[in-house]
């Protein structure tokens, strides 16, 4: 009787283990949607239609090299955080910062009026970071399920 109750509790706990994985997949979909919108805005040249007063308010555009360096530093710091979660013994969870940080580079590249490859590189970096985060959470979920299975036997 207690074995059956324990199995039921473990089966009820499985959705809690899988929830972060689903949240991460939704994060990837949201990021892809934002990325495609940013790419469409860039291709439509919407910033070129802004009045001069608005452009003067925005100020001078930053050099693309500085934006590339900032994106590289952001990527390295995100990788360090993800690797820390992989090696740590805590249960990793998704952080929306891994979606927000790459997305913040889209307006910078729009203002700097860079070519399409900059947007594709932001999309690639963001997807790689989200995929690594997803694999980390998924690995942790599989370990938890295996631990529960071992306890059951």
pLDDT higher than threshold 70 for residue 153: no
Domain with 99 in it: 2-152
Mean pLDDT of 3-24: 55
Quickly list DSSP for the chain. Answer: -HHHHHHHHHHHHHHHHHHHHHHHHHHHHHHHHHHHHHHHHHHHTGGGGS-HHHHHHH-SPPPHHHHHHHHHHHHHHHHHHHHHHHHSSS-----THHHHHHHTHHHHHHHHT--HHHHHHHHHHHHHHHHHHHHHHHHHHHHHHHHHHHHH-
Mean pLDDT of 16-43: 80
- Identify the pLDDT of residue 22: 67
pTM summary value = 0.74
pLDDT band at 73 (very low <50, low <70, confident <90, very high): very high
- Identify the pLDDT of residue 71: 92
Number of domains in the chain: 1
């Amino acid at each position: 009787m207690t074995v059956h109750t324990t199995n039921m509790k473990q089966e009820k706990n499985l959705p809690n283990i899988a929830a972060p994985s689903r949240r991460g997949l939704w994060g990837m979909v949201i990021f892809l949607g934002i990325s495609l919108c940013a790419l469409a805005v860039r291709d439509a040249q919407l910033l070129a239609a802004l009045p001069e007063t608005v452009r003067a308010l925005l100020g001078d555009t930053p050099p693309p090299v500085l934006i590339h360096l900032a994106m590289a530093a952001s990527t390295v710091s995100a990788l360090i955080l993800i690797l820390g979660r992989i090696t740590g013994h805590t249960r990793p969870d998704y952080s929306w910062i891994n979606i927000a940080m790459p997305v913040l580079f889209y307006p910078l590249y729009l203002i700097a009026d860079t070519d399409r490859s900059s947007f594709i590189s932001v999309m690639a970096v963001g997807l790689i970071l989200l995929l690594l985060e997803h694999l980390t959470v998924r690995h942790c979920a599989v370990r938890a399920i295996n631990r529960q299975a071992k306890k059951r036997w």
